[in-house]
Structure 1
């Protein structure tokens, strides 16, 4: 404990990954209900929690808002672009906001409807430690200090594995060397969230990483308890029980329970929901609603439907669409749907359907992003996910991508990325877009499957297919049922949404969200193994539909020709003031990417223009060879002969005696400056100077550099 001016500083410290880790409060943001700064190394995040005084009326969800922002001053930069201030949240900021939201949301009591706003700001960012997991701990610590009825604390850490050893909160360098990169959040007794990716790692290793993380999580939870003791945390508010609503629920349950059971036997989602709505309308018209409960009765009815559905599955082990707990819905696959698209696929699982398209682009078309780690990051592989309202039968227009769409796209992108060939093997920029055409659960995992098929259809040389499956959970006391391939209703009414994606050889992406206070190791282990079994089944169907990538790219895909030249040849290709490269681009319509190390990439809309550009470049950098025929431009004429430029900067002498078989007194009589001649090299002296002849060129001989003069 220390003092800053009139304020008392409360600070607790430990070490994580061998460096100082601290949480402090007391001298900043004191009008918030709770505020902390969390530090690791020289990275620091301010997190505040503010709760509204009044609860929202007539809602059935907890109104939690999380906003995470990375200030560019934190890493010593001024924002790029014309507007020199931070604007709307970046994709990364949205993803981190979701990462903070998901583990703290289930830690509030049922019936709590006050607005809670978490604001996290990166105040300092070093080049070693990512602030995202610090913000998770900061959100928990700020709530733990506040009056909000937060049933934590929880904590979050990142786990990497380098040379077989797990590392908690690794540096950026360690993450680059790791085959696992997952964020795990948990309470003292259980896991509440998992998010991350790996390079085809086994389920057993993933579970070991999660359990390793949990031991570190417990230390950070104790640190938060210590801070609350030092700072004197505020007294928590209590959530009052509405006795009128309890009686209303009992009455509704007596009138509707048996009818709901019958409705849950309807397999079609729209028909089932229609019947459930009819039951509600029938019953509400028969009872006298207490004053002010007209809206609340709908929420109470939804809770009853949830309870009946859960009871049915737990007792009968039969789901609302008639499946067994581990049964997967029928799968239908089709690829190569539209000829103009570079690659396409439809993946349908039950009433969930994703149309996925792959587009191949040229170098230079990468997504450019600012980053805490680097000034600029170029993304060569992108996966975008869209969820139009018609996919769930809603009559409303599409809007800008939501946080959910961005999160689902990132999850699918992370699943596919480890299998994308490197740039040397396949020098294309790759964009995959998933359009959800129908939704009834697990659209992100349908996107993973559809994306893999679409990439195969596009001819991207992926070594393996990637598939994904969403698992659910219903748990009452010690009794539980794990569900494979969950429906939308099972996701909404269940206790867990656990998504696992990977190949036949291991996991590439994992995401788990829960609505209860946490999961044990045993349940996690069982869910992972059940997910593996389902994933292998789906992969078999995918390989049957498309066993390997197409051997050739679509005729409508851009053509990329890769060349290696000597680095000293690059200035020749460019030419004085860019003369040569401009000529190539203007005449062929291609794009040319030149690297200082001699790598040349030609991007063309068709093979013919790409081949012409390649030949023009080869002619520019070729060496003059004895006995070969070349075209050349006359640059100077004297009586004794003419100087002919065969290649850029390479002059040759055409002696007057080599112009014609007839005797000529002066070269000026036959040749003038600017003439284009076809000549043969008859001699190259020790200094590399060429002598050429007009009269030695035989009929039908083609010049090696003709493209330069066409």
Structure 2
């Protein structure tokens, strides 16, 4: 039976419709927030999977292009691989709900959020978390929820719950918080250098809103919730448990205190092998049970070491960083590179500069008119970084998530396109990993961009914090390594500058976190971040003033949008010619903004000059080195600017009589000319003889110097022609107001020909040529 449940939250309404769609799932609902709607389904596998050492939860976030009234791009017009936005949204749901499933559970659970309608105002990912929470809560799937999720913005200094998408660009904070009645389970944030106090205030406001959502879901469960399925818990073999506890507890405790990751793993593996050998005959199939038991023993040993004995595996103090080294200019031919090493975690950051319009990333998502990305960070995690052997594949959800976090941290200091008209692709290759490689990517990215000459506003550093709560005691750890991350209760990553936080991510399994714990953790993270920034400053303290020699040189300028067609040319012919001639890349925006990129400045300036010559108007009195393109009996057409020709009449060639135009020029000849006039029909009339007395002066100008000797030689040759009847002083028709240009056709002293010429055919041919 169809039921609709509605929640009013801070002036906005969410509704959840149950009982109409996807009724064969364990639970399904249509969640709506404004006109954004998602179908959320949850399904539980009937049988547990044998041999797994983890809970098999799968969360998919499916975007349907019809939800935004769009057709997918590309050749195949259907949805393909999930977009980065969909992957990150799926990860956000996963991180919010995973910790509330029973640890021993091995039945597959599949949560699918399908975006069916998008209003461009209310975000689908927040609705997806709340929809998944309600679906799991009313289903028969064992789960210790419910949870709620909200988005917090800071607009004009005021914290706002669930701001519209259109308000986020004006917000200094974009914070997503998910949690249950006992506390926060997931935090994801990007910020514009906000203070730690503001973050704590925002999370407290979010917690208040989350409790309202949880109360609402509890009410729905009370009405329509199903009894939870009773899944069989894993069997306990007391004989093995007791033997391991009596014989290996001390050995495991000593093993977790070994500093080196691989040596520590080998010691734990040796202890596990002892247990397997002990029960090889009595329990021949117990190896997976023993492995699970050993993992639990290691967890207890790590937590005892930290909380009770106040010691860390590598001997550091709770707020002490691992040794850090920073190096720049690692790779000679890249635009920028840096190596950041912290303990056994190492990130190689490489910066590549590209051109706006050609190298930026086009976003094909559900947003309408979604802008392309100028700053892109890609994170790679090869298997050798953790000493493993496995096939190299494309980036998975983890890699995309880590890269998005580092990108968000650095985007806050990235320059705008007016001051820095480049696209930047930042790559982080993880060469070693033992804790917080995403924060190492932030540091290597900051160093690499500074080394490349990218004018980032400030240096950014990232640090991973940990928290363990046991027996009423709290332990906050700075710069956690993999062991502390895996067996701890909270993973708390903070990135920022000296002036504030730019990114934050938290996953919490510890239950309630008080304001004091959050404040202490952020304060401790701030101290660690400042220490890292001090070390980074010793390698490179500010962006280099010049780009790397291998980086493209980009020049931007604006032209009249009406002139864009002249630059592009028919079918792109003109712009392709510019690229072929100069070797530069050229991009023209609809606004008239032109970007020219080339490896060297000479090529860039050549392309700029060609484009500016195309769009500018010729003015009377200007002097050019032109190229003869066509010849008629009465003169030559000379191209003075790309696509712009003028007529050089035979009477304007020299102070001497030139018998025929063919004796003066050949097609392709270079000639110095000046613009005599631009007539009422916008035709350009040129003269050569008017600048002959200025040749010595022009020889001092680099633009004309090379051509001047040729002009002097040409004039010397003209002086040898017989003068005959001499030069007409009436201007041959041109100087007397340019009466019909066809008159030149029957002026025999100008090289005219037959009676047909006197009938006006040359005039018609001239006008046709001018139009062509």
* TM range, smaller chain: over 0.9
User: TM-score, normalised to structure 1's length?
Assistant: 0.93
The correspondence for 1:164, drawn from 147, 150, 157, is 157
Q: Which moved more, 1:198-207 or 1:246-255?
A: 246-255
Question: Structure 2 unaligned runs (5+)?
Answer: 708-772
SS of residue in 2 equivalent to 1:368: coil
Q: Give me the whole-angstrom Cα distance separating, in 2, the residues matched to 1:329 and 1:127.
A: 45
Residues 1:469 and 2:463 are matched in the alignment: yes
Which residue in 2 is equivalent to 1:4? none
Q: Which moved more, 1:593-602 or 1:541-550?
A: 593-602
Q: Give me the whole-angstrom Cα distance separating, in 1, the residues matched to 2:76 and 2:571.
A: 33
User: TM-score, normalised to structure 2's length?
Assistant: 0.86
Residues 1:332 and 2:325 are matched in the alignment: yes
CA contact (8 A) 2:153 2:160 kept: yes
- Please tell me whether Structure 1 or Structure 2 has the larger radius of gyration of its CA atoms: 2
- Counterparts in 2 of 1:264 and 1:20: CA distance versus 1, 3 Å: closer
SS of residue in 2 equivalent to 1:367: coil
SS of residue in 1 equivalent to 2:567: helix
Q: Give me the whole-angstrom Cα distance separating, in 2, the residues matched to 1:521 and 1:261.
A: 33
Shift of 1:346: 0.5
The correspondence for 1:42, drawn from 35, 39, 60, is 35
The correspondence for 2:691, drawn from 696, 700, 708, is 696
CA contact (8 A) 1:71 1:123 kept: yes
The correspondence for 2:315, drawn from 286, 309, 322, is 322
Residues 1:96 and 2:89 are matched in the alignment: yes
Residues 1:113 and 2:99 are matched in the alignment: no
Q: Which moved more, 1:627-636 or 1:683-692?
A: 683-692
- Residue pairs, 1:55-454, within 5 angstroms: 55-231=48-224, 233-238=225-230, 244-246=236-238, 248-287=240-279, 289-290=282-283, 292-363=285-356, 364-374=358-368, 376-454=370-448
Q: Which moved more, 1:587-596 or 1:322-331?
A: 587-596
User: Over aligned residues, Cα RMSD in angstroms?
Assistant: 2.5
Q: Which moved more, 1:290-299 or 1:64-73?
A: 290-299
Which residue in 2 is equivalent to 1:614? 608
CA deviation string 1:608-641 (max 9, x = no partner): 3222212222333444455543123456667765
Q: Which moved more, 1:690-699 or 1:89-98?
A: 690-699
- Counterparts in 2 of 1:559 and 1:110: CA distance versus 1, 3 Å: same
Which residue in 1 is equivalent to 2:543? 549
Which residue in 1 is equivalent to 2:759? none
CA contact (8 A) 1:639 1:665 kept: no
- Counterparts in 2 of 1:66 and 1:640: CA distance versus 1, 3 Å: closer
Shift of 1:695: 6.1
SS of residue in 2 equivalent to 1:662: coil
Question: Structure 1 unaligned runs (5+)?
Answer: 1-7
CA deviation string 1:522-554 (max 9, x = no partner): 222211111111111111111121011111111
CA deviation string 1:111-151 (max 9, x = no partner): 22221111111121112111101111111111111112211
CA deviation string 1:293-329 (max 9, x = no partner): 3311111011111101111111121101111111110
CA contact (8 A) 2:104 2:234 kept: no
- Counterparts in 2 of 1:485 and 1:635: CA distance versus 1, 3 Å: closer
Q: Give me the whole-angstrom Cα distance separating, in 2, the residues matched to 1:594 and 1:408.
A: 34
Shift of 1:377: 4.0
- Counterparts in 2 of 1:678 and 1:178: CA distance versus 1, 3 Å: same
Which residue in 1 is equivalent to 2:510? 516
- Counterparts in 2 of 1:572 and 1:707: CA distance versus 1, 3 Å: farther
SS of residue in 1 equivalent to 2:2: strand
Shift of 1:28: 2.0
Shift of 1:486: 0.6
- Counterparts in 2 of 1:551 and 1:281: CA distance versus 1, 3 Å: same
CA contact (8 A) 1:347 1:353 kept: yes
Q: How many residues end up aligned between the 2 structures? A: 700
Q: Give me the whole-angstrom Cα distance separating, in 2, the residues matched to 1:217 and 1:385.
A: 32
- Residue pairs, 1:468-617, within 5 angstroms: 468-575=462-569, 578-617=572-611
Q: Give me the whole-angstrom Cα distance separating, in 2, the residues matched to 1:641 and 1:354.
A: 69
SS of residue in 2 equivalent to 1:244: coil
Which residue in 2 is equivalent to 1:630? 624
Structure with more relative contact order (C-alpha pairs < 8 Å, separation 6 or more): 1
CA contact (8 A) 2:252 2:268 kept: yes
CA contact (8 A) 1:349 1:446 kept: yes
SS of residue in 2 equivalent to 1:404: helix
